[in-house]
Chains A and B, each alone.
Chain A
Amino acid sequence: MTNETFEPIIIGFTCNWCSYRAADLAGTSRLKYPPNIRLIRLMCSGRLDPTFVFKALANGADGVLITGCHPGECHYLEQNYKALRRFHLMRRTLKGLGIEPERIKLVWASAAEGVKFAAEAAAFVEEICALGPLQWGKPREEPSHREIEEVPA
């Protein structure tokens, strides 16, 4: 379900030491990428509780971008590997619930990779546009469904 007017809402989690600075660099370098991503800075991708991702999707986000330092370059030694494993587990769980696993994406970006960050962000917005709105938790109308009677006093 692609349509031209659909502007996806994407929540992006960035790590303080690499990918947030990459996003910053993209900004100071005046690189252009779509404004659909709302960035939230964490101290580390390892701080990303899957609760954040599920809460974002349950409350109206169409996709979640998770970014962190390249493997082996984590400021906290190996927490980005934990983020990687959580990412794999989240994708599998979302698939089990019928959500396209492509709605969450993991990108490694160093502080020097503003260009890469902007390109990945733009690509992700395209991918989510192609998937269409998620609109989680909106049950379809049930015409036959009887209204719940008011409780008599």
Chain B
Amino acid sequence: MSEKPKFAMYWAASCGGCEIAVLNIDEKILDVDANFEVVFWPVAMDAKYKDLEAMEDGSILLTLFNGGIRNDENEYLAKLLRRKSKILVAFGSCACEGCVPGLANLSPAEEIITTAFHTVSTDNPNGVHPQPTYKAPEGELHIPRLLPVLKTLDQVVEVDYYMPGCPPESHQIAAVIDLVIQVLQGKAELPPKGTVIGAGISTVCDECPRKRNVKTIKSFTRIFGQPLDPELCLLEQGIPCNGIATRSGCGARCPSAGAQCIGCYGPAEGVLDYGARLITAYASVVDANEPDEIERILDGIPDLVGQFYRFNLAGSLLKAGQTAWKPNGGNGR
């Protein structure tokens, strides 16, 4: 039997949901095993970094990389896996655009550590503060250092394909795995480099079953605590729904279930800045022409950065908040 192509998956700054989404492809996981040799996948098997370092460059056919680049260990592994892999896929929202960990780009790195170790929600009676190096009797130990901001994978290394979603839908993962297997068997060709795979090119609205009319919004409101029409577009009911700028591919699961789209599939095809596109869209449907009235309506969305950049801050044009660039200065505060 000829040697099987090699497969790797790695998690950087992420929650682990992407790995679960991969396992959620059910019996398709057997196809992965039948067609690939899994050589590196910390969540599923025991492999050491030195094993990976010892592999030949380009010897791994397919690497799914999830998670953003938050510390120097993430960055090292991103560079290492880039060298070892023929196809590197930014897998999931974190690797593609920063996702929720990217919201930490609104705070300086020191503040993140302080919040985690020294606030009332943390039980830390001895005031332990993590040090990057520690002299133990057996020798010096290192833990990874935080970078000033979280970066997306393609801000650190070249990426071949992007697979968005938080996490990517399992049926989309299964379809991508099918495609790669067909490519291996010579029955299909890979899409051009840089393509977003496992998703649509339109917006969530195109997949949304709710009824749509001309939108004129007199006030925004939160989703809880009021009766909503189960069939009418959520945005028309004043719920800030991000479906209008978000890439299709999820099947509009959230709006179908009565919750607003929060944008986990990232910007639609051709959109450079997701939040900017949402600003355009929201500004078009706000029904007011007087500055005071516009301000009153906009007061209904209390956290605009969270609304527009929940999944996208690290991958946006501005990438971070002022304090992450200049924690002690900046004229904005």
A contact residues vs B (CB 8 Å cutoff)? 1, 49-51, 53-55, 57-58, 71, 78, 81-82, 84-86, 88-90, 92-93, 95-100, 131-132, 135-140, 142, 144-146, 148-149, 151-153
Q: Are B305 and A85 in contact (CB under 8 A)?
A: no
Question: Which residues 176-213 in B have Cβ within 8 Å of A in the complex?
Answer: none
Interface string of B152-185 (1 = CB under 8 A from A): 0000000000000000000000000000000000
Is B127 an interface residue, CB under 8 A from the partner?
A: no
Q: In the complex, what residues of A have CB within 8 A of residue B310's CB?
A: none
Interface footprint category on B: 35 or more
Is B291 an interface residue, CB under 8 A from the partner?
A: yes
Inter-chain CB contacts under 8 Å: number: 130
Main secondary structure of the interface of A (DSSP, over half): loop
Q: In the complex, what residues of A have CB within 8 A of residue B329's CB?
A: 140
Q: Are B76 and A153 in contact (CB under 8 A)?
A: no
In the bound complex, CA of A100 to CA of B80 (Å) = 40
Q: In the complex, what residues of A have CB within 8 A of residue B132's CB?
A: 144, 146
Cross-interface CB contact of A136 among B75, B325, B327, cutoff 8 Å: B325
Q: Are B317 and A89 in contact (CB under 8 A)?
A: no
In the bound complex, CA of A58 to CA of B291 (Å) = 27
Q: Are B331 and A57 in contact (CB under 8 A)?
A: no
Cross-interface CB contact of A85 among B148, B275, B288, B316, cutoff 8 Å: B288
B contact residues vs A (CB 8 Å cutoff)? 53, 57, 72, 75-76, 79-80, 83, 106, 132, 145, 147-149, 272-273, 275-277, 279-280, 282-284, 286, 288-289, 291, 294-295, 298, 303-305, 308, 316-333
B193 CB to nearest chain A CB (Å): 21
B77 closest partner in A (C-beta): A151
Q: Are A93 and B145 in contact (CB under 8 A)?
A: no
Q: In the complex, what residues of A have CB within 8 A of residue B286's CB?
A: 85
Q: Are A82 and B75 in contact (CB under 8 A)?
A: no
In the bound complex, CA of A114 to CA of B177 (Å) = 62
Q: Are A131 and B331 in contact (CB under 8 A)?
A: yes
